[in-house]
Structure 1
Amino acid sequence: MKIIQVIDQLNVGGGEKVFVDMCNILNKNNIEVSAMFLLEAGVLRTQLDSNIPYFEVKRIKKWSLKKIQYCSLILNKFDIIHCHFRHVYRYISLVNLLFPIKGKIIFHDHYGLIEKDTKVPFLFSTLFKPNYYIGVSKTLTYWAEKKLKVHKDRIFKLENIIIKTETIELSDKKFDFILVSNIKPIKNNIFAVKLAKKLNKSLLLVGQNQNDNYFNELSNLANESNVVVETNITNAQIILQTAHFGLHTSLSETGPLVLIEYIAHKLPFLAFETGEVSITLKKYFPDFFINSFEIDEWEERISLIQSKQYQDDLFDKVFEMEFGEKKYFSDLIEIYLCVNKKN
């Protein structure tokens, strides 16, 4: 079974990290996997195992027939075409329409705004309706069944995981708080800055600027506070040990992947409750989740969490049980085998 993972570009983001980890896990387990980038590989390409083949389409014009045909020629060498993100799946569906692809096309949906935006993208319920759908949360798989009308036995849930980066425990931590999240309004990063300012705490913000106006507003607030903004870090795990406590303030998520990173590195945190990872982790760490954006309530909850002692082995146990590589690989291969045997 030959598999190709398809994405536009490996910029810094949760879905992109999932792509990298998925490729590496398959490769580690001797599954023949390749990668295709519709644009160029991007900054996270260096995190792919060096022996994974990859193709750069370097598409400039979306409707270039030459590039569409080129994609088809590559994809027809594979049994499973695993497409990440809605815009990528839409393009591959166009390729398949114009130059039919022999392999099975899977749409892997990472859409983070699903709790606020449930509309069906253009042509997704008709011409580009997916035959096989992977959602990273129950919310997404329910949406695929009810809105897209994908048959239930062709819908799969595959929760996100991370591959843990080994780091050195630091006794001298530079920051009180850390927030790892790309910078744009839906991520609500400014709330974290206001929180740190109100509590007179230091904060490290790690993420790429994805909205200039919002980033400028955040930067102005940060300059007035004890806040450092880092936009060029491609692996946040290596700096988690520089902080005492994690934050996550996003309004809507399918993950969020960073909470798994916090758990992997035994970092207590407080997060707004959204996404599949939150549902999973709340069973073990109920205090770590909150359903408001009242600063006084966040202050009170942070104090409560910091007053408790959380055993390192609990973090380790939860990480391995819920987000371990072995379970993820088993679940992914089961999906591929199921898809491969269907007509």
Structure 2
Amino acid sequence: MRVLQVIDSLEVGGAEKVAINMSILLSNQRHISVSFLCLLNKAKLDDELIKNNIEILYLKRPNKFHIKSVIRLYKILNQFDIIHVHSRHVLRYVSLTHFLPSFFKTFKVVFHDHYGNIENDNRLNNYLRFCINNCKAYIGVSNNLLLWAKENNIKVPLFLLSNIILKNKIDDITIKTNTIIVVGNFRKQKNYEFLIDLLSNLPTNIKVDIYGQPVDLLYYEFILKLIHQRDLADRVQIITDVKNVLPLLNNYVMALHCAKSETGPLVCIEYLQKKLPFVMFETGEVAKQIKSITNKLLIDSFDKKQWQIQILKIISDKNYRNQVVNDMNLIYKNYYSEEKYLDKCLKIYEHILSS
């Protein structure tokens, strides 16, 4: 079975990590040949694939409607059995190949939807509907995405494949850090203004490190301005050049995740793996899985008082913290097995090939 994973580029982000993890797991299967196609150029996470001997192809398209690039894309896709497309904007581009002659088309497309703002934005335009309905399968990373697909009468088989991370094979790195870690690129849905407001109401000895790239530059600058307005420059450190936070998590007391809408934040799975207690807003598939075991990690509102109480309890109460860690171990064991994830993925592929 020849499988091609497709994304725009491997910059640091959740969908990118999922695509990499999936490729690495698949590459360990003898009957599968897996390659990776980036529509743009080389990026920060390419090394993760290279060190696992996974071939990376680069389309290097100059723009979305460059005809020669679309033709070259079609030729590349035709070398594989399954084309696994990650993210909506990538599917919209790959689907341009539908407008080319299809006499010699051999590949089948599966669409992997990572859209994290579905609770606030459930629109579906005609072109995206066309793109999805011309796939052989739709994979959602959350039940909310599957519900969205059903409600919009998507006419292809629907599958749930919740996010996981691979077992950590990298040694921990000891560095000097602040008390709390927050991870996420700067986008409005990350809700960093609430984080800054929350920090203003916590004891002054509690400081935060934010790891994220300024994807939305206007929002990034807005948060920088807010930090200075609240006189918190000495309590907030922003780090924009780290590709992998996993080896650094051991340096923190706890983590926070304030995003208003997330389908399945990978970083919270990383916290679970590393047994780093955290508090997150109750949204998305990871929150549902957590809630089946415990409520200690979740808050269903943006009431600052609730967040303050939970944060201080985790930091100050050793017995409570141990209870949280025990619950985290159970959650990770129940939901984030590599074997279960790989088995689900392979069954989706087998279904596509037989259809």
Fold match, TM over 0.5? yes
Deviations 1:164-223 (CA, angstroms, capped at 9, x unpaired):
3344386x9732211111112111012212222321210000111122222112123334
How far 1:75 sits from its partner (Å)? 0.6
* Structure 2 CA distance for partners of 1:108 and 1:15, relative to 1, 3 Å: same
How far 1:321 sits from its partner (Å)? 2.8
Alignment of 1:6-85 (within 5 A): 6-30=6-30, 31-50=32-51, 51-85=53-87
The AA in structure 2 aligned to 1:135 is G
Give the Cα separation in 2 of the matches to 1:19 and 1:180.
19
Deviations 1:86-125 (CA, angstroms, capped at 9, x unpaired):
1111111111331433211111100011011111134133
SS across alignment from 1:162: coil
The AA in structure 2 aligned to 1:4 is L
The runs of 5 or more residues in structure 1 that have no matched partner are none
**1:214 has 2:222 as partner:** no
Kindly indicate whether the alpha-carbon contact (under 8 Å) linking 1:24 and 1:49 is maintained by their aligned counterparts in 2: no
Give the Cα separation in 2 of the matches to 1:313 and 1:169.
24
SS across alignment from 1:143: helix
The AA in structure 2 aligned to 1:87 is H
- Sequence identity (%): 35
Give the Cα separation in 1 of the matches to 2:132 and 2:248.
41
SS across alignment from 2:253: strand
The match for 2:142 among 130, 137, 141 is 137
Higher alpha-carbon deviation: 84-93 or 214-223: 214-223
Aligned to 1:309: 321
**1:271 has 2:280 as partner:** yes
Kindly indicate whether the alpha-carbon contact (under 8 Å) linking 2:111 and 2:132 is maintained by their aligned counterparts in 1: no
Normalised by the length of structure 2, the TM-score is 0.90
Aligned to 2:333: 320
Normalised by the length of structure 1, the TM-score is 0.93
* Structure 2 CA distance for partners of 1:317 and 1:292, relative to 1, 3 Å: closer
How far 1:41 sits from its partner (Å)? 3.1
The match for 2:172 among 161, 168, 173 is 168
* Structure 2 CA distance for partners of 1:322 and 1:173, relative to 1, 3 Å: farther
The AA in structure 1 aligned to 2:56 is Y
Give the Cα separation in 2 of the matches to 1:297 and 1:320.
28
SS across alignment from 1:125: helix
Give the Cα separation in 2 of the matches to 1:258 and 1:6.
22
Aligned to 1:155: 158
The AA in structure 2 aligned to 1:2 is R
The match for 2:242 among 229, 233, 256 is 233
Kindly indicate whether the alpha-carbon contact (under 8 Å) linking 1:120 and 1:148 is maintained by their aligned counterparts in 2: no
Higher alpha-carbon deviation: 1-10 or 88-97: 88-97
